[in-house]
Amino acid sequence: MYRENLLRQPRQKLALNPKDRISIFGQESGGEGFETAIKQIVDQAITSDKVIDIFEAAGIEKPELSILSDEFLLEVQGMNHKNLAIELLKKILNDEIKSRLRTNLVKSKAFLEMLESAIKKYQNNLLTTAQIIEELIRIAKEVKESDKEGEKLGLSTEEVAFYNALETNDSAVKVLGDETLKTIAREIADKVKKNTTIDWTIRESARAKLMVLVKRTLTKYGYPPDKQQKAIDTVLKQAELLADFINSEI
């Protein structure tokens, strides 16, 4: 469910009825009906292609800087209605991961799997309310920390995306060394930039050419042959997402 929702791009704003806000989040709120109403509103925000102002609904001031700041996460953790905190964190993480999908497919999928796993454990009563909140906040902090990866590696946003596509945590790949992997990522990013056009995603010849270029680069640096096809497939998917992102910004 969350994987499908992640791919949806928000188009319209979903207005929250002021009367609903007062009855659901006002001083008289409480009990099972309150929690059910919370979940219905947030579920609508997540499963719909519309946007709900979840901060307004929760009665929390939207942070001016980072939505994943330690200060904001601490505020959410300290909310009196813990089920609302859970739903709010789910919504925030869903949106934050979605915003990173086009620029880093591998990382986004990894974070999505973490989110799905945590929610499933909670639904199966393997995590308490306090534990799921802690887990969601931990994931949020990892998402935030991942934004610094490029700076740490000395790579651009695009280069980091292809660096992650190389399965750098695989033992057979690690033996190449970090510097070699970064060099491969830089070369692949450069080739992608030079060989993607506005309509390249529908031109098989362009995709075939890029596939050959990526394979040559991997072979040149001794990338494990049995790992190459998966890396190539991931690179092509990432290239397509980046091309769509760049074209949408034009």
| DSSP notation for the chain | -HHHHHTPPP-EEEPPPHHHHHHHHSTT--HHHHHHHHHHHHHHHHHSSEEE-HHHHHT-PPPSS-TT-HHHHHHHHT-S-HHHHHHHHHHHHHHHHHHHTTT-HHHHHHHHHHHHHHHHHHHTTSS-HHHHHHHHHHHHHHHHHHTTHHHHHT--HHHHHHHHTT-TTSHHHHTT-HHHHHHHHHHHHHHHHHH--TTGGG-HHHHHHHHHHHHHHHHHTT--HHHHHHHHHHHHHHHHHHHHHHHHH-
Spans of all domains in the chain? 2-147, 154-249
Rounding to the nearest 10 degrees, give the CA dihedral for residues 90, 92, 97, 102: 140
In this predicted structure, the answer to whether residue 247 has a pLDDT above a threshold of 80 is: no
Predicted pLDDT of residue 16: 40
| Mean model confidence pLDDT for the chain | 78
Predicted pLDDT of residue 91: 86
Cα–Cα dist 188/159, whole Å: 8
> Percent of the chain at pLDDT above 90?
46
Parallel, antiparallel or unpaired: strands 12-14 and 50-52? parallel
In this predicted structure, the answer to whether residue 50 has a pLDDT above a threshold of 70 is: no
Query: Which of 16-30, 89-103, 140-154, 173-187 shows the lowest per-residue confidence on average (mean pLDDT)?
Result: 16-30
Predicted pLDDT of residue 72: 81
The tens digit of pLDDT for each residue in 144-189 reads 999 999 999 999 999 999 999 999 888 989 999 999 999 999 999 9
Predicted pLDDT of residue 244: 72
Predicted TM-score (pTM) of this structure: 0.73
- Residue 61: pLDDT band by 50, 70, 90 thresholds? low
Cα–Cα dist 80/174, whole Å: 46
Answer with the residue of higher pLDDT: 184 or 242: 184
